[in-house]
Structure 1
Amino acid sequence: MTWWEAAPALATAAVLVLVPGALLAWALGVRGVLRVALAPVFSVGVLAVSAVVAPLVGLRWGWPVAVGGALVAVVGGGAVRSLARRVPSRSSGEAPPGGGDGGAAWAGAVVGVLAGGTSLAVGVAHGIGSPGRWPQTFDAVFHLSASWRVLTGGDGSSLTLGTVNAPGLARAFYPAGWHDLVALVAGGSGVGVVPASSALAVVVVAVVHPLGCVALTRAALGPHPVALAAGGALAAGVTASPVVLASYGTLWPNALGTSLLPAALALLVVVLGAGARVRVEPVRAVVLLLVVAAGLVLAHPNTAVSWLVLGVVVAVVVGWPRGGRWRWVALAAVPVTVWLVAWSPVFAATRRTSWPARESVPQALGEWLLLAPQRLPVPLVLAGLTLLGGVVAWRRASLRWLLAVHVTSGAVFALVAGSDSRLARLAGGPWYDDAFRLAALAAVTAVPLAALGVDALVRRVRVLVPRPPEVVVGGALLAVVAVATSGLSWSATSEVTARWYRYQSMLEPASAALLGRLPGEVPARGVVAGNPFDGAALTGPLADRDPLFPHVTGAWDADRRLVGTHLAAAARRPDVCAAVRRLGVTHVLTGGSRFWVEDRRRHDYDGLEVAGAPGFERVDAGGSLTLWRVTACGA
């Protein structure tokens, strides 16, 4: 499949992340650039919540439910707006959210998003190579299997998605926002789960992320055309966010949440009155924040924690000079947030994971200053503009919060990346103690700071050479930046994306081709057993046949554990055959791969090596894999 052939999937993904949220923003009275820039975080919130509600009322997840959920949200938003108009507001003379954006502001935002989005889209698409290519990583196996389960099973609830690798449980939480969208893209465009995931990854990186950067720039700096154009264009310059998450791991849900984070922070800035002054009545503010919180939690919870941490920093920096109750409310939020991050039981499981430090704290701080955490490509021009923006923000009391959140993110990243101390483990708990996930926060605040740097340079040039219009000077400066960064760093984006997409350690082409033949060899309701480390977990998304083990590891029930350890003995073990019948296993895949060959958990599936054992008939082979039919149990 080529990217041209994937155009319907790309268009479907763009519609999903833009239209529901834009309609809700319109219904709630959000105006101007923010109406579109905030749309993705509203869309994800509405769709992911609809997916949670659907099974509770007996509905399958799909386009009818998605459209119905969006319409209900729009009607509800209109009702909230009507109610808000009746509530007296002490700031009624100020503009509504996004109000005051003229044609120049719109033009700047559109040019910026088109420039940055094009660079990102070209880079990510080139790095992936083909929409049918999937990154052969531990996490990608789960996400592809989970998306296939949502698509074919009709249950997209985050309350049950965790049962994909815990089938013995009735409920198990896992954020399903990404998988709900993939299922809709696949169902709406007619492509498989893998091309749908590739298309959504491109849209998340190239549409959602630049729009979020524009939203935060607009909230912080106001409707200045040059700043908005810079915010959208420079979003392409930092491969740490969210490009690396869409490749490394592969952490697609985390990439989605990180892409939503700048817009979510922008709304919080508006509500707190920390940036360009706009009015949000308490009723609308609560509803908007709830939708955003739902979108972040159901995309990935750690991005909601990032939002909370950065929001508290904004509240403290803004609230302290105001004094009074605002000061004490902001300060009271600090210990609550610290407890949530470091000690709350909510993140007890992720707190148990640990990734060893690979550098020193000073080195990690230096990488953050250069916007190249975890040894990613260094965007020198953007790093310089960010430093300039930081100086300007420090000199403007109204913008010190923007510098504060950038410093806070960098401090947490440097601590986790450069230290194995108890403090680092506590601080990095919600992010799995994984420096890569924290590295992805770099662009969230760096891009608005860089936009501020561009705006400051334009103003300085205008003082020295007052004749050219501001828009002309700004356009010329951004053109210079684009040339200096070789097309807004599209090649760096391609390099980082390809680093993990191009490595084939689980399924070489011949083995993948065997999976492609399974629909003609395995009955529609057949279940395929096999060591998931060797690619058997992917029979669902790649062959539309149910895998016995849909992820590399899991909390498997007793029948699956028995089959995994003793299937080869089925001819002489009636208990194994009983489990085979209960599970519906009809076929087995055997063979080896180079994927995590030293992992001891591979031995949990040693009983699936049935070659030479009685009761199994060879059906097909390809690459390192062989397909067998189970005959030992009268199948």
Structure 2
Amino acid sequence: MSWIEVTPVALVAAGWLFGPGLPVAFLVGLRGIAAFALAPVVGIAVVASTAVVASTVGLDWSVPVALGGTLVAAAVAGLLAFLLRRKDLLRPTADPWRLTAIALVGLLPALALAALAVMQAVGPPDSISQVYDTPYHYNALAHIRDAHDASSLTLHALGDPETPAMFYPAAWHGLASLVMMSTGVSIPVAANVFCAVITILVWPVACLLLVRQLFGRNTAALAIAGVVSIAFPAFPWDFFGWGVLWPNLLGMAVAPAIFALVLTVTGWVRDDVIGRGRAWLLLAVAVVAAGFAHPNVLFSLVVLSLFPAGAALFVRAKRLREDGNGRRGVVECVVFAVVVLGAWAWSATTPMFDNVRDWPWAPFETPAAAVGEVLLNATNQREALWLLSAVVVVGALTARRMPAIRWVLAGHLVAAFLFVLAAGLNRPDTRVFTGYWYNDSHRLAAMLPITGVPLAIAGVLFLAARARPLAERLAPVRARTAPALSVVLLVVLVVLTGGLYPDDRENRITVTYPRVEKDKLVNDRMRAFYDRVAERVPSDAVVLGNPFDGSVMLWALADREVLYSHFLKEESAEQEYLGRNLADAAEDPRVCAAVHRYRAQYVLIGRNDPHIAEITPYEGIAGVPYADGFELVDRAGPTRLYRITACG
């Protein structure tokens, strides 16, 4: 299978990412860049909310149900626009078509460079991601396919009634399942193509809106924004491979657009194309979208928003003082500080976040090295991006010229501080700051490109202005303009970096798609064998297996449900007992009772690794080949399928 063959799948994925939100965006008066950048934000909220409602009322999750939710959202937006028509809050606003065209043309080379990087890193579009979190995400899609339920209130259990109910942000899974249902492609193809579209299209467009609000109708800034947006490997490239953090990838991809809403409501924008009243409305929708995508996104946006919000209140307090109402301004500032500090104190100590806050990542470098990585955009011990980092530093040094960029720089510095804490210290006393991101340096580093993109653009614009006198002496008239000089400088940056450091981008993705067979959880031989397993195992049977030997992937790859469905599954006492004692099925009635309880009929032994065989609580599964009561059905090298005969 080639990427050319899955082009229609990519178009469907783009349709599901932008389609549900576009009608709402247009009905509330958004046009051009703003409409397209905020459409995924609205769409995430609409699709994820529809999935929850459908599950609650007993409707099967399907394409028609998702389209029905889209129609309801559009009807609500239309009614709201009608009711508010006299208040002028939702009056359509738009940039000149020429400005929008320049921005879209500037996106084209970004799309080409990003698409090339994804194709090179992933390999064939049906390649399997093989890292720690992948089995959960794949099997979540398998569960949605089989159970027709994509609700964030039920997905955590993957259909296991013995797993405690818990909220899990399922927007990525709900949307990816729609791609799968609409096209009929396999789970790996749907996941790869969906993540590719998020990386290649959603993130650059979201950055474009942030740049539009910060720099106004600046054609130079908009012309280069698309290419600059893909230059920072910490996001989105790192999230394509690390973890894998696909729900975070979706949420952080729209974070620049949500940050643009924050800057709009706080007044730190130039030539506003959104409108403050509309921004407040969409910000409420964005909170829902971020929560369903991944709550980490909300915490990241809070960090980036503190300074513009605080500064806006301070400016308001000064104005109130000049109007003779200084006490009110002081009260508002004090209330803001109390709310922020109180919320932080509560969230830093509440048991609700214990499982997130206490995640035990060890520091892997010195704080000084972590600071250097931030300055060189080489987070998590990656390649130093010297030229790009120099441009960012130039932009930071010119921040005093633009008030809004000052607060972007402040957010950048806070994100850098949090990254240094996670990468260089990560002690119990630092986790009160970094615990909202699992104390994970990768999640914290992902905030830096959100602020790094506008800082880099500010740097390019400053350098272009400095180069203009030289251009007036050496170049024809057309090359003297600010947009032309900015584009020339960006082209120079792209050429000197070999295409904006493509090796670093690709390496960040490739870690999840290993090329060497011994590094794969499910190698090519096992994958072919799983197709045979699907022919031998009835569709209603459950298969037992040690998830760490690759059997966990059977559900996603061959549509045969496995009991132990991911590496961090919360197992009941009976499930744990079954895993420990399965080999004793011929002698232990409790084992057979559990076998019948979970509809288990077969056992799959995956990779032959003695260390995997010893993992608790799956020792009993490892003993199956040497025990009575199990019949060998098929095998391919060390990978074997057994039927349980001991339990009748």
TM > 0.5: yes
- CA separation of 1:411 and 1:58: change in aligned 2, threshold 3 A: same
Q: 1:490 aligns with which of 502, 513, 534?
A: 502
- CA separation of 1:549 and 1:242: change in aligned 2, threshold 3 A: same
Q: 1:448 aligns with which of 426, 442, 454?
A: 454
- CA separation of 1:486 and 1:103: change in aligned 2, threshold 3 A: farther
Conserved 8 A contact 1:27-1:75:
no
- Counting only pairs closer than 5 Å after superposition, residues 159-558 of structure 1 correspond to structure 2 as 159-164=153-158, 167-169=161-163, 171-278=165-272, 284-323=278-317, 324=320, 325=329, 327-339=333-345, 341-462=347-468, 464-465=470-471, 467=477, 468-502=480-514, 504-558=519-573
Q: Deviations over 1:437-483 (max 9, x none)?
A: 11111211101111122222233334554533333223322222221
Whole-Å separation in 2 of the counterparts to 1:281 and 1:488: 34
Partner SS for 2:616 = helix
Identity %: 35
How far residue 117 of structure 1 moved from its aligned partner, in angstroms, is 2.4
Partner SS for 2:439 = coil
The match for 2:18 is 18
How far residue 427 of structure 1 moved from its aligned partner, in angstroms, is 0.9
- CA separation of 1:485 and 1:509: change in aligned 2, threshold 3 A: same
How far residue 24 of structure 1 moved from its aligned partner, in angstroms, is 1.5
How far residue 64 of structure 1 moved from its aligned partner, in angstroms, is 0.7
Q: Deviations over 1:348-380 (max 9, x none)?
A: 210121201111222111111111111222222
The match for 2:323 is none
The match for 2:324 is none
Q: Deviations over 1:284-309 (max 9, x none)?
A: 44431121111111111111111122
Conserved 8 A contact 1:46-1:70:
yes
- CA separation of 1:449 and 1:330: change in aligned 2, threshold 3 A: farther
The match for 1:92 is none
Partner SS for 2:141 = helix
The match for 2:133 is 139
Conserved 8 A contact 1:342-1:426:
yes
Aligned amino acid, residue 524 of structure 1: S
Residue 629 of structure 1 pairs with residue 608 of structure 2: no
Conserved 8 A contact 2:585-2:647:
yes
Whole-Å separation in 2 of the counterparts to 1:346 and 1:12: 38
Conserved 8 A contact 1:393-1:399:
yes
Whole-Å separation in 2 of the counterparts to 1:221 and 1:337: 32
- CA separation of 1:280 and 1:6: change in aligned 2, threshold 3 A: closer
Aligned amino acid, residue 154 of structure 1: H
Whole-Å separation in 1 of the counterparts to 2:267 and 2:637: 61
- CA separation of 1:209 and 1:88: change in aligned 2, threshold 3 A: closer
- Of 338-347 and 389-398, more deviation after overlay is shown by 338-347
How far residue 516 of structure 1 moved from its aligned partner, in angstroms, is 2.2
Conserved 8 A contact 2:237-2:506:
no
| Number of residue equivalences | 626
The match for 2:325 is none
- CA separation of 1:589 and 1:447: change in aligned 2, threshold 3 A: same
The match for 1:155 is 149
Aligned amino acid, residue 52 of structure 2: V
The match for 1:619 is 633
Residue 7 of structure 1 pairs with residue 7 of structure 2: yes
Conserved 8 A contact 1:505-1:594:
no
The match for 1:31 is 31
Whole-Å separation in 1 of the counterparts to 2:581 and 2:255: 47
Whole-Å separation in 2 of the counterparts to 1:441 and 1:563: 43
Structure 1 gaps of 5+ residues are: 90-94
Conserved 8 A contact 2:461-2:482:
no
Q: 1:569 aligns with which of 570, 584, 590?
A: 584
How far residue 37 of structure 1 moved from its aligned partner, in angstroms, is 1.6
Q: CA RMSD in A?
A: 2.2
Partner SS for 1:547 = coil
Conserved 8 A contact 1:394-1:403:
no
The match for 2:86 is 86
Whole-Å separation in 2 of the counterparts to 1:249 and 1:187: 25
Aligned amino acid, residue 632 of structure 1: A
Conserved 8 A contact 1:166-1:555:
no
Higher relative contact order (CA 8 A, sep 6+): 1
- Of 36-45 and 80-89, more deviation after overlay is shown by 80-89
- Of 495-504 and 581-590, more deviation after overlay is shown by 495-504
The match for 2:113 is 119
The match for 1:128 is 122
Conserved 8 A contact 2:141-2:177:
yes
Partner SS for 1:240 = coil
Q: Deviations over 1:482-507 (max 9, x none)?
A: 21222233332112211332163422
- CA separation of 1:107 and 1:599: change in aligned 2, threshold 3 A: farther
- CA separation of 1:285 and 1:470: change in aligned 2, threshold 3 A: closer
How far residue 632 of structure 1 moved from its aligned partner, in angstroms, is 1.2
Partner SS for 1:86 = coil
Conserved 8 A contact 2:514-2:520:
no
Whole-Å separation in 2 of the counterparts to 1:279 and 1:207: 21
The match for 1:77 is 77
Whole-Å separation in 2 of the counterparts to 1:96 and 1:130: 46
Q: Deviations over 1:385-443 (max 9, x none)?
A: 21111122233234311111111111111111111333321111111111111111121
Whole-Å separation in 1 of the counterparts to 2:514 and 2:467: 45
- Of 34-43 and 483-492, more deviation after overlay is shown by 483-492
Aligned amino acid, residue 492 of structure 1: D
Conserved 8 A contact 1:592-1:625:
yes
Partner SS for 1:20 = coil
- CA separation of 1:295 and 1:9: change in aligned 2, threshold 3 A: same
Whole-Å separation in 1 of the counterparts to 2:406 and 2:177: 42
Whole-Å separation in 1 of the counterparts to 2:344 and 2:366: 24
Whole-Å separation in 1 of the counterparts to 2:335 and 2:454: 27
Conserved 8 A contact 2:40-2:254:
yes
Conserved 8 A contact 2:28-2:81:
yes
Whole-Å separation in 2 of the counterparts to 1:598 and 1:337: 43
Conserved 8 A contact 1:84-1:283:
no
How far residue 525 of structure 1 moved from its aligned partner, in angstroms, is 0.7
- Of 162-171 and 552-561, more deviation after overlay is shown by 162-171
Whole-Å separation in 2 of the counterparts to 1:585 and 1:114: 52
How far residue 12 of structure 1 moved from its aligned partner, in angstroms, is 1.3
Whole-Å separation in 2 of the counterparts to 1:70 and 1:458: 44
Whole-Å separation in 2 of the counterparts to 1:524 and 1:9: 27
Aligned amino acid, residue 42 of structure 2: F
Aligned amino acid, residue 487 of structure 1: G
- CA separation of 1:228 and 1:281: change in aligned 2, threshold 3 A: closer
